[in-house]
Structure 1
Amino acid sequence: RSLIMTCLSLVFKGIILEYVEGGESKTRSIDLLDLTPETDVTALVEEIQEREPLITASCLEHIIHLVQRLQEKLGEKQNHKFSLFKVLRTHILPLTNVAFNKSGSRFITGSYDRTCKLWDTASGEELHSLEGHRNVVYAIAFNNPYGDKIATGSFDKTCKVWSTETGKCYHTFRGHSAEIVCLSFNPQSTLLATGSMDTTAKLWDLEKGEEVATLNGHSAEIIALSFNTTGDRIITGSFDHTVAVWDVGTGRLLHTLIGHRGEISSAQFSWDCSLIVTGSMDKTCMLWNAVTGTHIATLAGHSKEVLDVCFDYAGQRIATASADGECVSTLKAILGSGMLLLGTAFRY
């Protein structure tokens, strides 16, 4: 293993190690679920160091400092106040999507005007207008955590990859026979996945600029897709009421998650890749074992369609957004037997 750089980010009671092994960028998460304002941070980090070879003596003090910062955050009283920061008149037609880079210093907007625009967050300055699509730019993404590339998916059936710094178009990917409505970079930024109304998803090699695989298996439009954090699995959600789990290396279908009675709206892996959460137009959210594809629980309670779902970074909560106007946060407790107990749901 060649450790070129160790970068740590604060997440919900945990840290993320970013490193390079064999020329490939990888990440490893370390949970700190037992961390409290009274914890001896130095002793905790030294204990973690004993079982984690990525934490070397040269970066030990830096890690201790980061965990101490996280500990300070845990002791702060939560009294957030929100105010309007800036209003930008960005496009001549309605926007379809918006996305930040990892640091939040820049963001992108997609629009019915067929363009994607890159903005400086602090100043509100337009840095680049990415032009070239012949129809609505519907799906957009940065290749976080790097942030040096932008992908745009369009109703013109193509996907384009752009340079964040220059606005130059690196590649135009053609192959879908219908509108592209979702896309995602893998964590290593070597692949791009696109989902289409043509019922397929495709994987594209970012260096070679060519198609790697076509994921066939759904009988209706694919409207959601997501890589896991290791980049070896991808899930696709479809209007055929199912979610498919695929092996990225081979393009092979591993599991089909069957149980929803309506179109899939959203699907996501937990940070540790062990769970999958899915939202549906059937007004429910479902939890699945990502390894076996088995159904764990159904979260019911919304009176209208569930439009979006997500895990927190610690994998302890699931948030669902619905057309009924409510956002529900569900607390998940893990028992010693390995079973899952769904606890209190909090509405906002």
Structure 2
Amino acid sequence: MTFRETLLERLRARDKAANAFHDIIVTNNRLLQQTIELEKKNKAIEAAKNDGSSTETAGSTQRVAELDRRIRELNEERADMYKTQSQNAQRLVTLNEQLRTREEKDIQQVEEIKHLSESVKKLSAKCDLQVQQLREKDVAIQILQDELAALQLEMVTTEDKIKKLRKENDQLLERWMNKMNEEAEKMNEATQFYETALEQARVDADRQKLKQSRKRVVSSSADVTKSIQISSIALPEKASRRINVHDAEIHCISASSTGTMFATGGADKKVKLFDAKTGNNTHSLSGALQTITSVAFNSTDELILGTCTDNATRIWSLSTHRLKQTLTGHIGKVYSAKFTADSKKIMSGSHDRTLKVWDVQTGNNLRTIFTFSSCNDLCLMDPDGQTVISGHLDNNIRLWDARTGVGIKELTGIHSGQITSVSMSPDGTTLLTNSRDNTLKIIDVRMYDIVRSFQADTYRNGLNWSRSTFSPDGKYVAAGSADGSLHIWNTKTGKPERAILEHSSVICGVAWNPTGDFLYTAEKNKAVCMWGTSTASKSNRAK
């Protein structure tokens, strides 16, 4: 059916619907005409009545009443017809609106049919093309199947040849193996004797080197120990001096190995050096790009390192006070690093979950150890750095063989909060740990047992990098609290000895001078306090 035929059919349907009301309209008009004629007759009768006809009979009166009743009925019928006419007109409007809507929809559908017809034509053309392509592929498949049958036949022939060759090869191999076994037995007797002698020589050489290395480490440690005279420790009552040292927040503090100076680092990207006795600022080392997170001296106080949140560790020369080396390779903030006793290597720990071993001279990364958790602090269990101890974000402490990168021991359940610092005792037999669970603990590194636990009602560890320390004689441990108070405990009894409030903000680190004369505390709010901790210093203050 064409578009014109569809339109004509719909117009006829519309006319049929509209003509359905024709009889009603004609009847209404007829009733209206009758009503008009009756009104005229009624007026004529009323006029005759008004003329005073006294001879009106009872029959005419009855006639008038009948006509009035008839008029009323016709008026009511007309009102009903008007009402019906109005309803029909409303239905007619509604039907016309529906017809218009459907006509518009029909036009859209006709348009859509046209588009779909075009799409069908295109798809039919594509289908024809693909059928043709399938026929061509069927021909190609038939050719390939013929080639496959030929190749399979050739393969069967080749496999028969291969079986024969393998059989011959097995025979030749068996003859060759028998001959080689005879020769190998003769060679093994000579080789075994040679290897035994060579292995014995290697063992003797390794033992000799180990003895020499231990002698060097012991001698170097002995030289440092002889040069440092440890004073008798006397716990302080108050700070002897308060110093404002940085232009921004302080993050770390460390005393030098010889006891002649101490250093601080902070958010102003500088490492500052101070005289150990007077507290006077002697030098300021620059070169870092972001916050200094920790500082450490080498065993001879010739070098100092600073770890940084720019993922690097920097080494400065204390003779020239210039930047000597920058160690880059971590992909996270570096929070701790230490020199080995011979100052040839550095161990660093980062939030990228790795420890790295560095060559100080070349700056090369010698080894990377994956630690499974971000490292907050580390220390060396032995002076030559063969064993490294690290404290982590997951509350655990791990021991590592720095030569192989293999984990030696993982200590779990020691603390219920992340580890903020680890440090070895002066005699090298125990480990001091500090944690965000507000406790410090001493661990026997030989048996991995907790020897002592320290806590106090007023002690709160306020930072993820808060550092604690042993006293040089190992009799006390010290740590700073979130309220700015210094806490000191007795290592033998585990009881708190001092809780002194001198700082105005959280203490980020404490460091004891190796001579035992002074204890240094650094608060985050740019200040350092010096505490006299020797009997000599206390007697001088008394005088």
TM-score, with normalisation over the residues of structure 2? 0.45
**Which residue identity does 2:470 align to in structure 1?**
F
**Which residue identity does 1:265 align to in structure 2?**
T
CA distance in 2, matches of 1:92, 1:264: 28
Bigger proportion of residues as helix: 2
**Which residue identity does 1:183 align to in structure 2?**
A
**Of the candidates 249, 257, 266, which is equivalent to residue 403 of structure 2?**
249
Question: Residue 318 of structure 2 aligns with which residue?
Answer: 164
**Which residue identity does 2:217 align to in structure 1?**
K
**Of the candidates 368, 380, 388, which is equivalent to residue 227 of structure 1?**
380
Matched, 1:346 2:497: yes
Matched, 1:265 2:424: no
* CA contact 2:454–2:494 (8 Å) conserved in 1: no
The structural deviation recorded for 1:236 is 0.7
CA distance in 1, matches of 2:234, 2:336: 38
Aligned residue for 1:26, secondary structure, equals helix
Query: Which residues of 2 match residues 141-180 of structure 1 at below 5 A?
Result: 141-143=296-298, 145-180=299-334
Q: Closer, same or farther in 2 for the Cα pair 1:95/1:294, shift >3 Å?
A: closer
Aligned residue for 1:183, secondary structure, equals strand
Question: Residue 433 of structure 2 aligns with which residue?
Answer: 278
In the alignment, structure 2 segments of 5+ residues that lack a partner are 1-210, 500-543
* CA contact 2:314–2:325 (8 Å) conserved in 1: yes
CA distance in 2, matches of 1:191, 1:302: 41
Q: Closer, same or farther in 2 for the Cα pair 1:163/1:258, shift >3 Å?
A: same
Q: Closer, same or farther in 2 for the Cα pair 1:281/1:208, shift >3 Å?
A: same
CA distance in 1, matches of 2:249, 2:328: 25
Q: Closer, same or farther in 2 for the Cα pair 1:87/1:278, shift >3 Å?
A: closer
Tell me the alpha carbon deviations over residues 151-185 of structure 1, each in whole angstroms, 9 at most, x when there is no partner: 12111111111211113322211111111122221
CA distance in 1, matches of 2:341, 2:410: 23
Query: Which residues of 2 match residues 71-90 of structure 1 at below 5 A?
Result: 83-84=240-241, 87=243, 90=245
* CA contact 2:388–2:402 (8 Å) conserved in 1: yes
CA distance in 1, matches of 2:356, 2:255: 24
The structural deviation recorded for 1:264 is 0.8
> Could you say what the CA RMSD is over the residues aligned between the two structures, in angstroms?
3.7
**Of the candidates 305, 310, 323, which is equivalent to residue 469 of structure 2?**
310
Q: Percent identity?
A: 23
Matched, 1:186 2:377: no
The structural deviation recorded for 1:330 is 2.8
**Of the candidates 201, 205, 210, which is equivalent to residue 359 of structure 2?**
205
Matched, 1:238 2:398: no
Question: Residue 285 of structure 2 aligns with which residue?
Answer: 129
**Which residue identity does 1:181 align to in structure 2?**
Y
Matched, 1:101 2:256: yes
The structural deviation recorded for 1:294 is 3.6
* CA contact 2:285–2:316 (8 Å) conserved in 1: no
More displaced 10-residue stretch of structure 1: 103-112 or 194-203: 103-112
**Which residue identity does 1:310 align to in structure 2?**
T
Q: Closer, same or farther in 2 for the Cα pair 1:305/1:28, shift >3 Å?
A: farther
CA distance in 1, matches of 2:330, 2:366: 13
Q: Closer, same or farther in 2 for the Cα pair 1:272/1:28, shift >3 Å?
A: farther
More displaced 10-residue stretch of structure 1: 305-314 or 229-238: 305-314
Matched, 1:26 2:217: yes
CA distance in 1, matches of 2:454, 2:442: 8
Question: Residue 489 of structure 2 aligns with which residue?
Answer: 329
Q: Closer, same or farther in 2 for the Cα pair 1:154/1:330, shift >3 Å?
A: same
TM-score, with normalisation over the residues of structure 1? 0.67
Which structure would you say has the larger RCO, counting Cα contacts within 8 Å and 6 or more residues apart? Answer: 2
The structural deviation recorded for 1:115 is 2.7
Question: Residue 48 of structure 1 aligns with which residue?
Answer: none
Q: Closer, same or farther in 2 for the Cα pair 1:146/1:242, shift >3 Å?
A: same
The structural deviation recorded for 1:326 is 5.7
Q: Closer, same or farther in 2 for the Cα pair 1:77/1:199, shift >3 Å?
A: closer
CA distance in 1, matches of 2:445, 2:250: 34
CA distance in 1, matches of 2:495, 2:255: 31
Larger gyration radius, structure 1 or structure 2: 2
CA distance in 2, matches of 1:297, 1:23: 30
Question: Residue 45 of structure 1 aligns with which residue?
Answer: none
Q: Closer, same or farther in 2 for the Cα pair 1:305/1:238, shift >3 Å?
A: farther
Q: Closer, same or farther in 2 for the Cα pair 1:24/1:266, shift >3 Å?
A: same
Q: Closer, same or farther in 2 for the Cα pair 1:102/1:315, shift >3 Å?
A: closer
Aligned residue for 1:240, secondary structure, equals coil
CA distance in 1, matches of 2:235, 2:271: 36
**Which residue identity does 1:26 align to in structure 2?**
V
Tell me the alpha carbon deviations over residues 221-259 of structure 1, each in whole angstroms, 9 at most, x when there is no partner: 211111134333221111100011122332221111111
In the alignment, structure 1 segments of 5+ residues that lack a partner are 1-19, 31-53, 56-62, 333-341
Q: Closer, same or farther in 2 for the Cα pair 1:275/1:120, shift >3 Å?
A: closer
* CA contact 1:257–1:294 (8 Å) conserved in 2: no
